[in-house]
Chains A and B, each alone.
Chain A
């Protein structure tokens, strides 16, 4: 439909009074890629998105969309479209008029804009509900309408502010798939803010982990998962144990994937620690154990179901956990 645009942030900064929300970040998002901004609340991801959208003034630095600096431009002239967290559908307009809103603002005739809005509603499979008001739609349906409204401007970049957080878990997984399909079909750049690492892992070509207004690490999800740069990334992305390297006779801290750890002395392991089983969760295909281990705040072990039930343990048991030296990943302090 439309070609995507590259988005480039250069020393982008946002301050509210003396509070620094975004602290001079640099990031280049390739045209047509799916980028997830990921981080805990208050990390600056939403401020970053809103600056890209043009709903927040840029305190310092530059924002490039395509080849031009768009710092002071109004949202409509940036070639971006935003989908809001609460969808922000106009409650007094039906689906068609909601989708056609931006065309109306541009002065497109009534027939023409209603026809194009109907096409767009068909694209998100909402053609049947064209005449309904937002209040008569379910959360998932509202989201499709919001998506259609954002896409009708033919943006080069689609900005999504926590688009899935208002949905129930089942719908969330389905909408996630649909977002991905839509991204593949229309080929524009998606920038998606989320606090869920699962969402980022499932969707992103480029995942950007933010913390306290800075980018901790940016890269493909697999790189983030296998080579987290800092302890923060390792903890946030999940599935990792952050250990004081003193335990294994080294300086600094390191990360070990929880699913690489084996229990008991039977398995050959380069490094072994002792701990007490504190928690035990059965997840179906896997069993998750929490251990109290010296030198680690939290120590998780993920065993496959068969592996666990070959040699089950109970809460309170002393166990030996071991892993190979090749599985140790050093972290920057």
Chain B
């Protein structure tokens, strides 16, 4: 008996010390675990945005910028008719690109998810969709030029087939070309989340709907579409934010004839008007955030994440 008592007493101080340390650690550990992400987000997200917001209140002339607090950048931006026209134009691109990518993306995802029975083929076809992403955006845009141009493949093909007499002018360096490029670049961002949503739909729901007398179109409208909404919302957020912030596609595909907010900001930067560009960027950020918030109000995407 005494032996056991002795052995249990001697390591007691060490146990107490360990207990003290182990009481402190559980309290600190969660913060430590969250720290890397917090620091990364602070450094690479919050600090740059705050810098942009700060600079947007600065003053500038043709040579340099001055730390200050003036509202002239915002006043000039919001009172200029050019801004409003450009915003409208950008929103038009966003709306057209969104509608087209949604239509194509939903169809492709539906085909992949519900008409391809074998998982292997689903994967093969899905990977096929991603092949264009192995080249850069610029290359993919530029390759439209010889195809759509005045003497491009499409025009000369249509002329030699006798369908048209004169080349179609709207094909290249036009709004059509811009939207076409957007659709080409961003449809996959719509396909992936919608496909993901569709794969989660229990197939017996489709059978249950058919059992209840629903036709193919009724199943699509009453069962598949409502259950795909979160995917549609996520895809829409991708496409809309990408199109709203774009400048290179608009410049290349419109041949410099159309403007977008991104292009406007890029021009201001090239003229060293950083505070004006910063004000413009701040407003754009606010507009895009409002659009995303509106989409999230309509659809609850939490269960998808």
Contact = CB atoms under 8 A, between A and B. Distances in A.
Interface of A: 53-55, 74-76, 80-82, 84-86, 88-92, 101-102, 104-106, 149-150, 153
Given A86-B204, A104-B222, A92 B227 contact: yes
B213 A86 contact: no
Contacts of A106: 213
Given A86-B202, A88-B202, A92-B227, A101 B207 contact: no
27 contacts: A53-B211, A55-B207, A74-B210, A74-B213, A75-B213, A76-B212, A80-B211, A84-B208, A86-B202, A86-B204, A88-B202, A88-B207, A88-B208, A89-B208, A90-B205, A90-B223, A101-B212, A101-B214, A102-B213, A105-B209, A105-B212, A105-B214, A105-B215, A105-B218, A106-B213, A149-B208, A153-B213
Contacts of B202: 86, 88
A101 B210 contact: no
Max chain B C-beta neighbours (<10 A), residue from A55, A105, A149: A105
Given A82-B208, A101-B214, 17 more contacts: A74-B210, A74-B213, A76-B211, A76-B213, A80-B211, A82-B211, A84-B204, A86-B202, A88-B204, A89-B208, A91-B227, A101-B212, A102-B211, A102-B213, A104-B222, A105-B222, A106-B213
A3 B143 CA distance: 68
A210 B204 CA distance: 24
A91 B209 CA distance: 12
A86 B206 CA distance: 13
Contacts, number: 61
A90 B213 contact: no
A263 B50 CA distance: 90
Interface residues of B, number: 17
A289 B202 CA distance: 45
Contact of A92 (B207, B211, B226): B226
Contact of A55 (B205, B211, B215, B227): B211
Nearest to A92: B226
A101 B227 contact: no
B212 A88 contact: no
A149 B207 contact: no
Contacts of B227: 91-92
Contacts of B208: 82, 84, 88-90, 149
Interface string B143-158: 0000000000000000
Contacts of B212: 76, 101-102, 105, 149, 153
Contacts of B210: 55, 74-76
A181 B211 CA distance: 24
Contacts of B204: 84-86, 88
Contacts of A75: 210-211, 213
Given A91-B227, A92-B227, A84 B209 contact: no
Nearest to B208: A88
Chain B CB count within 10 A is highest, among A55, A74, A90, for A90
- Which of B205, B212, B226, B227 is most buried by chain A, counting CB atoms within 10 A of its CB? B212
Given A92-B226, A104-B222, A105-B218, A84 B207 contact: yes
A82 B226 CA distance: 23
Contacts of B223: 90
B125 to A, nearest CB: 22
A88 B211 CA distance: 11
A80 B207 CA distance: 13
Nearest to A76: B213
Q: Which 7 A-B pairs have the closest CB atoms?
A: A76-B213, A102-B212, A88-B208, A88-B204, A105-B214, A92-B226, A75-B211
Contacts of A102: 211-214
Contacts of A81: 211
Contacts of A76: 210-213
Contacts of A90: 205, 208-209, 223
